[in-house]
Structures are given as structure tokens and as C-alpha cells.
């Protein structure tokens, strides 16, 4: 290769690098040196809340937001045909999701970013709920510890599907009541933070699975959940799915999904909301669409993401 060819090659590589940098950041050079916007599209298990954490009506120390406390209750179906101890064990553990924001370095294009989201299993104690795990089961009895161990195994399937500086997509596998059947489904959360003030928003929706178990269709509406949400997770019990008084894995089903304020989403956002995996562009498009769903009806000033519709990646400079 001669000198001119090598020089041309270097120029081409430089142009590609500059183009990719502009596509990925779309922010001033000095700010980009201090902070690179996050687009993590690799699914991974959701972080766990440390055992022993005591959680009251708001986020505990070192956390920014209590996303939800989901307290199961067996309220529907063959309730009177099931032993009381079985109903009690089905309602033993409360699922809790926490999130935290972090302050970015001085000179960054936005002052705050989403840091982490985590889940834990907790029991009722004085002052709220205390997180337990199989290594720190507290005062649970033998049968209750088995319930905890089984619930922990189920938690292993909880996935943080993707995360940006302003949003994390979290998927829970759940058995839900549909008609007269107990079917597998996905309960999806979008945990979102306004990068300007660290204010949290949570949207939740169901993703139906097809007969092959693949992601098929998202709800036409998403639920905008209240802050510090405490919900009664109503369970339907089917006595036909018991053998000698022992329930199988499909004996209980979620009868009612988390409910907040319904927010309609347009068809293109609904399609994105059902994707099992994301690339940078689809993740950004979903984030933009969800911010617009939150802010557009009020004509309030939205975070920068909602004003960056034309960009394939998030622009967070106000």
C-alpha cells in the first residue's frame, strides 16, 4: 500500500469514528469527554436488594425511589377449597422494586442519570418489610424457607432487558388468569428518571406470549403507576391444580395486573413495547415514545428525550 492509500485509509477511519461519535452522543465534545450516554442492550439478571434492608412507605437509605411493593393475596377462585396454610404461604412474600439515580460529573449534558434497579423478596415486620434471601432467611420456619427458596428461583428469571441514562426495561415472567386458563405472560416495567431533576416515573404493561412462548403483543395502554406504589397482588387459585393438597406451579395466577393511570400509546410504540430485545435505535425510540405518552397530554416541558424524535440515539442536551 502506498503513502496516498494509507493516508486515504486513515482519513476514512477518522470519518467513520467521527460519524459514530456524533451518532452515539450528539452532545458537545467537552461534555462527551466527561460522560458517554448509556445504551446497554445486553439483557442480564436484575440486581437484588441486600438481605436485611428495611423498607417502609418510601425508598430506604441509599435508594432514590420505591417503585412498587406487590403484596400477594389469594382473593379469587377456589379460595375456600384450599387449606389456610397454603393460602398464607402463597401470600408470604412481598416483591419490592427499588431504583436509584446518580449525580453526573460537573459539565455533563444532564445532571442526573439512572443508576440501578433492584428487586427483593420481603416479609412484613414492624415498620414495614424486611428483605430476606435463602442465606439470610430471618425467623422463617422450615416450610416457609422452602417457599422462599422457590420464590428466589423464580426471581432468577427476572431480567433487566436494557438500560439507558433515563430508562430501564425490566421483565417479570408471570402466570396470569385469562378467561378460564392460567397462561404464561410477561409483566414489563419501564423505570424512568427525568435527567434534569431525578424525578422517577414508572410505566407497566403486559406482553402476551404466543403458543411457542415468544413475545407477541403488548397492551394497547400502559399503566402509569403512582410513586411509592403499594399494591395488593390479587391471586386466583385453581383447586384442580392441587394433588393431595399440594399445589403445582400453575395453581396460582395473577388475577389483576398493577393498575395506575392508563396511558394510551400509538401503534408504533406498542410494537416497540413488545420487543424481546433491543438495539440502540429501537431502545431510544421506545424511550422517546414513552416520554411523549407521559408529557404530551399535559403540554408540560418534557425531558430532552421526548424532543429528540429525529435522532437515532438519545440527545440529552437541553
Residue 168 host element (H or E): strand 167-178
What integer pLDDT is reported at residue 110 of this predicted model? 85
CB 79 within 8 A of CB 215: no
Mean pLDDT of 104-121: 92
In percent, how much of the chain has pLDDT > 90? 75
Identify the residue with better confidence: 23 or 115. Answer: 115
Residue at 9 is within a domain: no
pLDDT tier for residue 27 given thresholds of 50, 70 and 90: very low
User: Is residue 16 one of the residues assigned to a domain?
Assistant: no
Does 4 reside within a domain? no
pLDDT(99) > 50? yes
Q: What is the pLDDT of residues 304-316, one digit of tens each?
A: 444 343 333 343 3
Confidence at residue 295, expressed as pLDDT on a 0 to 100 scale = 82
Q: What is the pLDDT of residue 238?
A: 96
Q: Enter the C-alpha cell of residue 168.
A: 430501564
In the chain, how many domains are there? 1
pLDDT value of residue 36 = 54
Q: How many CB atoms lie within 10 A of CB 250?
A: 13
Inform me whether the pLDDT recorded for 2 exceeds 60.
Answer: no
Domain assignment present for residue 74? The answer is: yes
Range of the domain at 150: 35-307
pLDDT in tens, 43-57: 999 999 999 999 999
- Considering the domain boundaries, does residue 28 fall inside one? no
Residues whose CB is less than 8 angstroms from the CB of residue 7 and which lie 6 or more positions away in sequence, other chains included: none
pLDDT confidence of residue 146: 95
The answer to whether the CB of 92 falls within 8 A of the CB of 64 is no
- Asked if residue 256 is part of any domain, the answer here is yes
What mean pLDDT is predicted for residues 108-119? 92
What confidence score (pLDDT) does residue 103 get? Answer: 93
Amino acid at each position: 500500500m502506498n503513502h496516498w492509500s494509507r493516508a486515504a485509509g486513515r482519513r476514512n477511519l477518522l470519518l467513520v469514528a467521527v460519524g459514530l461519535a456524533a451518532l452515539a452522543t450528539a452532545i458537545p465534545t467537552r461534555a462527551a469527554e466527561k460522560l458517554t450516554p448509556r445504551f446497554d442492550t445486553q439483557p442480564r439478571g436484575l440486581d437484588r436488594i441486600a438481605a436485611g434492608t428495611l423498607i417502609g412507605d418510601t425508598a430506604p437509605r441509599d435508594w432514590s425511589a420505591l417503585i412498587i411493593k406487590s403484596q400477594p393475596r389469594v382473593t379469587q377462585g377456589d379460595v375456600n377449597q384450599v387449606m389456610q396454610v397454603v393460602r398464607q404461604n402463597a401470600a408470604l412474600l412481598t416483591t419490592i422494586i427499588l431504583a436509584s439515580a446518580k449525580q453526573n460529573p460537573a459539565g455533563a449534558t444532564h445532571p442526573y442519570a439512572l443508576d440501578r434497579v433492584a428487586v427483593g423478596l420481603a416479609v412484613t415486620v414492624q415498620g414495614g418489610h424486611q428483605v430476606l434471601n435463602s442465606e439470610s432467611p430471618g425467623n422463617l420456619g422450615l416450610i416457609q424457607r422452602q417457599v422462599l427458596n422457590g420464590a428466589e428461583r423464580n426471581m432468577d428469571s427476572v431480567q433487566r432487558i436494557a438500560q439507558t441514562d433515563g430508562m430501564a426495561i425490566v421483565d417479570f415472567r408471570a402466570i396470569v388468569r385469562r378467561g378460564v386458563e392460567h397462561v404464561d405472560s410477561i409483566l414489563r416495567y419501564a423505570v424512568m428518571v427525568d435527567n434534569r431533576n431525578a424525578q422517577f416515573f414508572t410505566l407497566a404493561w403486559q406482553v402476551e406470549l404466543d403458543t411457542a412462548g415468544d413475545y407477541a403483543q403488548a397492551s394497547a395502554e400502559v399503566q402509569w403507576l403512582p410513586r411509592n406504589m403499594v399494591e395488593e397482588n390479587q391471586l386466583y387459585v385453581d383447586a384442580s391444580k392441587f394433588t393431595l393438597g399440594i399445589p403445582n406451579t400453575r395453581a396460582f395466577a395473577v388475577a389483576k395486573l398493577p393498575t395506575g393511570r392508563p396511558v394510551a400509546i400509538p401503534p408504533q410504540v406498542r410494537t416497540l413495547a413488545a420487543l424481546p430485545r433491543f438495539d440502540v435505535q429501537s431502545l431510544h425510540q421506545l424511550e422517546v415514545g414513552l416520554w411523549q405518552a407521559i408529557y404530551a397530554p399535559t403540554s408540560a416541558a418534557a425531558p430532552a428525550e421526548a424532543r429528540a424524535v429525529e435522532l437515532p440515539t438519545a440527545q440529552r442536551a437541553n
